[in-house]
Amino acid sequence: MKLLLAVLAGSGLFAQDYDTVILGGRVIDPESKLDAVRNVGITGGTIRDVSEKPLRGRTTINAKGLVVSPGFIDLHRHGQDEEAYRYQAMDGVTTGFELEVGTDDVDRWYAAREGKAAVNHGVSIGHVPVRMAVMKDPGTFLPSGDAAKRAATDEEITEFKRRMERGLQRGAVAAGFGVAYTAAASRWEILEMFRVAARFGASCHVHMRSAAGGGSPEEGLQEVIAAAAVTGAPLHVVHINSSALKLTTRLLGMIGEARERGMDVSTECYPYTAGATRLETALFDSWTNRPAADYAMIQWAATGERLTAETFARYRKTGGRIIVHTNTEEMVEAAVKHPLTMIASDGGAFQDGTGHPRSAGCYSRILGVYVREKKLIPLDEAIRKMTLMPALRLERRVPAMKNKGRIRAGADADITVFDAASIRDHSTYERAAAYSEGVRLVLVSGVPVVRDGRLTGATPGRGVRAAIQ
């Protein structure tokens, strides 16, 4: 359905109450549970009215037959360059955060993106990059040397804490942890970093230790729940489906039990049976003399080939991105439909068009496959998982999030309008860099970044951060 855009002349014949009016769409607001045909009036980047009554504005958008949703919020988005922002916008995302790995220099990270982003963005102060910087690890994005393989000295832990504290003082959204990638980090070291986060009320977004690193998913979750219990730091477990694999349901139960006892624990999932990482990381240090089927689960992203023992050894020396086919659709569905899970892509940047399909199609896949085709969850619940739930996760530390993830007067005009009957993902493991279909309009602070299903080239995205001390 083509989105009709009409610009009303400023001749004085018509009142211009709003900058933009979205007319006649099915407005779904997960906070108020509104699900009805409404008109939305926007001025100055803010929603000013949601009404059954006719509204008038300089620009009027006919959304009849379309869903008007809060813009999708991605808590786990490694791809943070201009190209990645365009793919996010075409998938309906209006705010994307790099919270698992994060950065070691918060000010520099935000400055590098100012005025260049189609969507809003934010970052954590990351234990992984801090550890890499202090220990002079040669890795680029993830550690491959001492930061992965050596226990820290007391002096180094003190420096980690100082840098984590500095990042939180500079407005980092959260504290990030890739514990699976820093296997040599002691449980005491992780506990000390949680203590820093707790002092600032910062949630800890954790890729926990898992079976890939020689432990077990249960032990990995127990470690970080214990750290949260001891310190009081809020805990967010990233991609529960790919960390827990066949134990996904069991670990979701553990998170639920922790919440029942008053702990602040949350989690997320993505709708794919394969994950992605880098082959040179410590995750694969124990991979020797594996069955051929284990190597075949790994796909070399650059070529699409499945690995053998020989190609595994060769590519591990050079390092590079891989797709790991280790999960089942049963476990993906268990995670997607669970009431505690948010949706987060774990998407990265593309390299010559290669990568993981979640980097382009995560949210459209949820709506097209798991809502429309499989009817696994209702539409309003899917929208809640993609908007309000992530906003609530962050809003205590980042007050700006109180006005995202909602369609109500006073909320930010970050809005996604889509066709529920046609939305779908087109990205695949072999052709990852493919735009989704069915997202008709995306507003970021009231500015169209997608209009009539096409990118506009606008870059209104802003850095989202906590208060700077």
Look at residue 4 and tell me whether its pLDDT is greater than 60.
no
Q: Which residues pair with 176 in a beta bridge?
A: 126, 205
Look at residue 10 and tell me whether its pLDDT is greater than 60.
no
Of 443, 467, 466, nearest in space to 119 by CA: 443
Question: What is the rounded distance in angstroms from the CA atom of residue 133 to the CA atom of residue 157?
Answer: 12
Q: Which residues pair with 235 in a beta bridge?
A: 204, 265
pLDDT digits (tens, 9 = 90+) for 266-279: 999 999 999 999 99
Question: What is the rounded distance in angstroms from the CA atom of residue 269 to the CA atom of residue 370?
Answer: 13
C-alpha neighbours within 13 Å on the C-beta side of residue 306? 9
Question: Considering the domain boundaries, does residue 57 fall inside one?
Answer: yes
The tally of domains found in the chain comes to 3
Question: What is the rounded distance in angstroms from the CA atom of residue 164 to the CA atom of residue 130?
Answer: 7
Instruction: Give pLDDT, residue 213.
Output: 59
Q: What is the pTM of this model?
A: 0.95
Residue 210 banded pLDDT, cuts 50, 70, 90: confident
**Domain end residue (candidates: 296, 322, 348):** 322
Q: Which domain holds residue 237?
A: 72-280+323-401
Question: Considering the domain boundaries, does residue 469 fall inside one?
Answer: no
Amino acid, single-letter form, for residue 101? V
In this structure, are 430 and 338 located in the same domain?
no
Percent of the chain exceeding pLDDT 90 equals 93
In this structure, are 250 and 264 located in the same domain?
yes
Question: Considering the domain boundaries, does residue 460 fall inside one?
Answer: no
Residue 151: count of CB within 10 angstroms of its CB:
12
Reported as type and span, the H/E element at residue 160 is helix 154-169
In this structure, are 207 and 297 located in the same domain?
no
pLDDT digits (tens, 9 = 90+) for 420-435: 999 999 999 999 999 9
In this structure, are 124 and 176 located in the same domain?
yes
Instruction: Give pLDDT, residue 11.
Output: 37
In this structure, are 115 and 217 located in the same domain?
yes
C-alpha neighbours within 13 Å on the C-beta side of residue 116? 11
362 Cβ partners below 8 Å, 6+ apart?
Answer: 74, 91, 270, 271, 272, 343, 344, 345, 347, 425
The single residue listed with the structure tokens 């997607």 is 336
In this structure, are 276 and 286 located in the same domain?
no
Look at residue 187 and tell me whether its pLDDT is greater than 50.
yes
Instruction: Give pLDDT, residue 288.
Output: 85
Percent of the chain exceeding pLDDT 70 equals 96
In this structure, are 211 and 359 located in the same domain?
yes
Helix (H, G, I), strand (E, B) or coil at 401: helix
Q: What is the CATH number of the domain that holds 22?
A: 2.30.40.10
Of 178, 189, 177, nearest in space to 151 by CA: 189
* Lowest-pLDDT choice from 139-148, 153-162, 165-174: 139-148
In this structure, are 42 and 139 located in the same domain?
no
Question: What is the rounded distance in angstroms from the CA atom of residue 305 to the CA atom of residue 449?
Answer: 36
In this structure, are 57 and 81 located in the same domain?
no
Strand positions, DSSP E, 146-305: 175-178, 204-207, 235-237, 265-269, 274-278, 298-300
pLDDT digits (tens, 9 = 90+) for 19-68: 999 999 999 999 999 999 999 999 999 999 999 999 999 999 999 999 99
In this structure, are 139 and 192 located in the same domain?
yes
Tell me the C-alpha to C-alpha distance, in Å, between residue 326 and each of 101, 252, 276, 298, 323.
Answer: 22, 18, 10, 9, 9
In this structure, are 285 and 312 located in the same domain?
yes
Question: Considering the domain boundaries, does residue 461 fall inside one?
Answer: no
Residue 16 banded pLDDT, cuts 50, 70, 90: low
In this structure, are 275 and 287 located in the same domain?
no
